[in-house]
Amino acid sequence: MTTRGRSVVPSAAESHPPLRVALLGCGVVGTQVARLLTEQADDLASRVGARLELVGIAVRDAAAPRDAAIDRSLLTEDAEGLVARADVVVEVMGGTEPARALLLRAIEAGAAVVTANKALLAEDGPTLYKAADAAGVDIYFEAAVAGAIPIVRPVRESLAGDHVRRVLGIVNGTTNYVLDQMATTGMGLEEAVKEAQDLGYAEADPTADVEGYDAAAKAAILASLAFHTRVSLDDVAREGIMSVTAADVAWAAQTGHVIKLLAIAELRDGTSAGGSAGVSVRVHPALVPTSHPLANVRGSFNAVFVEAESAGELMFYGRGAGGAPTASAVLGDVVSAARHRVLGGKGPQESTYAELAILPASAAVTRYQVRLDVDDRPGVLAQVAHALAEHGVSIEAVRQPTAPGGADAEGGVAELLITTHAAPESALAATVAAVAGLDPVRTITSVLRVEGA
């Protein structure tokens, strides 16, 4: 046998009967999974020790037009029937139902399952993990977080001997593209979202991306793995990018930052400024210093920065979306699950032993940059500074620079940019309300968190 011109000696395990693979869904990702299973059949057989036989592809409409790479004789509208005759079930249909029911049926029938469905895992992963544990089968989901980038396996397996302290990720390609375009061209948010849609990055309905739901689902999955604690979508404090303005982006550049939508999961020991012990998981736009590796993640790329006690800082970078990149992650999982079928062994189970408290959004501790328009007269700065001090929020720097957008100094209005030291979100919220109520304060233009400093 040859593979890509090299001769391959069949291993003893290749006498193993073929493993039957069922594919649920044949969209962007499913089409590429089917193509790779076919095109790379010989390599996969050598790596697994058994041939992977695609026995069917469940679709909604078997008569609909398909990519030429799809063998139409494999298409079926009977997903349940297909699941019943597979050793490995790959779910790339998305949505909660029937994906959940089909995966449970597969697990109960003793099949290993591979899914890219972050929405389902973030909402109800534990039901699937428990079922897989009870049935003694593998459940793999590398493609569910940051597409092609190996991040689930590193956190779940490679770092299993370490203590993860913090995960900081750009895990949504659409919003990273939008923010990057705003930074490089000066365009407004709506125009950049429209461009992302035209280029096919954003969905026709980009809500899950721009409102941060997609990133929040990934944050929940990563936090669960990193901290051995169940974290669901509802536990994630979420803010999307819709309120980020061109002026925010311009100001960020002036102060040596870029704005990124970050997914943050961090362990708090409760000893620092106003903090409580537990896990804080949140998604929001943040100012990232241009010197931080995440600041250089451009376009629709993703990256995840992990800080672990012994390993130190790690960064994972690559394509977080797209048919072929995501299918690469799916295939890696299929090979892992299939190897266990051939050689024995089992992938990791859900690990929730730590049972850490999930902290409310108000307990998050971070630095802030607050921009405000004030009356340009003596004593105003002192009044503002006093309001911050009264709420225990310490000022790191105050600037009154030339505004990129052009503050109306002639009309007696000055723009102030205040950067704080780390403070709990609750203290900052109270402070902002107090500052907004001061007589000389005209408007609080923006409040942005500063991360990665």
Ligand X SMILES: N[C@@H](CCO)C(=O)O
Ligand Y SMILES: NC(=O)c1ccc[n+]([C@@H]2O[C@H](COP(=O)([O-])OP(=O)(O)OC[C@H]3O[C@@H](n4cnc5c(N)ncnc54)[C@H](O)[C@@H]3O)[C@@H](O)[C@H]2O)c1
- Secondary structure of residue 363 in the 3-state scheme: helix
Helices and strands, counts by H and E, the chain: 14, 19
Our finding on whether 29 is near ligand Y (CB under 6 A) is yes
Among 30, 320, 325, 347, binds ligand X (CB under 6 A): 320
Q: Does 377 bind ligand Y (CB under 6 A)?
A: no
**Of 101-109, 139-147, 188-196, 373-381, which segment contacts Na ion by CB under 5 A?**
139-147
Total interface residues for ligand Y by CB under 6 A: 22
Angle between helices 41-48 and 323-343 (to 10 degrees): 40
Nearest approach in angstroms of CB 55 to ligand X is: 27
What per-residue string of b and e applies to 404-434 under the rule 16 or more CB within 10 Å gives b? beebeeeeeebbbbbbbebbbbbbbebbbeb
d(CA 266, CA 282): 9
Asked if 48 interacts with Na ion (CB under 5 A), we say: no
Q: Does 358 bind ligand Y (CB under 6 A)?
A: no
Q: Which listed residue (117, 181, 232, 336) binds ligand Y by CB under 6 A?
A: 117
346 is in an annotated binding site: no
Residue 241: CB minimum distance to ligand Y, A: 19
User: In terms of C-beta density within 10 A (0-12 exposed, 13-18 middle, 19 or more buried), how is residue 140 classed?
Assistant: buried
218 is catalytic: yes
The structure tokens listed for 3 are: 């593979």
- 29 is annotated as contributing to ligand binding: yes
Residue selected from 146, 216, 223, 435 as contacting Na ion according to rule CB under 5 A: 146
Burial of 351 (0-12, 13-18, 19+ CB in 10 A): middle
Q: Which residue has the tokens 């328009």?
A: 373
97 is in an annotated binding site: no
Q: Shortest Cβ distance from residue 329 to ligand Y (Å)?
A: 8
Q: Is 25 annotated as a binding residue?
A: yes
Selected binder of Na ion within 29, 149, 372, 441 (CB under 5 A)? 149
- H-run or E-run covering 268: strand 257-269
344 marked among binding-site residues: no
* Residue 150, CA atoms < 13 Å, CB-side half-sphere: 10
The residue among 405, 393, 404, 402 whose CA lies nearest residue 369 is 393
Residue 28 annotated as binding site:
yes
CA-CA distance, 71 to 75, in Å (whole number)?
Answer: 8
* Dist CA 322 CA 1 (whole Å): 32
Q: Write out the two tokens for 450.
A: 């500063």
In the shown chain, the binding pattern of residues 174 to 213 toward ligand X, with x for contact by CB under 6 A and - for none, equals x----------------------------------x----
Among 119-127, 135-143, 196-204, 299-307, the segment contacting Na ion (CB under 5 A):
135-143
- From 88-96, 159-167, 182-190, 437-445, span contacting ligand Y (CB under 6 A): 88-96
Residue from the set 31, 32, 46, 172 that interacts with ligand X by CB under 6 A: 172
142 contributes a contact to Na ion by CB under 5 A: yes
Unique residue bearing structure tokens 């072929």: 324
**Binder of ligand X out of 25, 147, 154, 452 (CB under 6 A):** 147
Compose the 136-155 pattern: x for residues touching ligand Y by CB under 6 A, - for all others: -------x---x--------
Binding to ligand Y (CB under 6 A) within 323-342 occurs at: 326
- Pairing mode, strands 312-319 and 301-308: antiparallel
Nearest partner of 43 among 1, 78, 15, judged by Cα? 1
Between 261 and 423, CB nearer to ligand X: 261
Active site residue ranges: 218
Give contact residues for Na ion (rule: CB under 5 A). 142, 145-146, 149, 151, 329
Give contact residues for ligand X (rule: CB under 6 A). 147, 172-174, 209, 214, 320-321
Binding residues for L-homoserine: 203
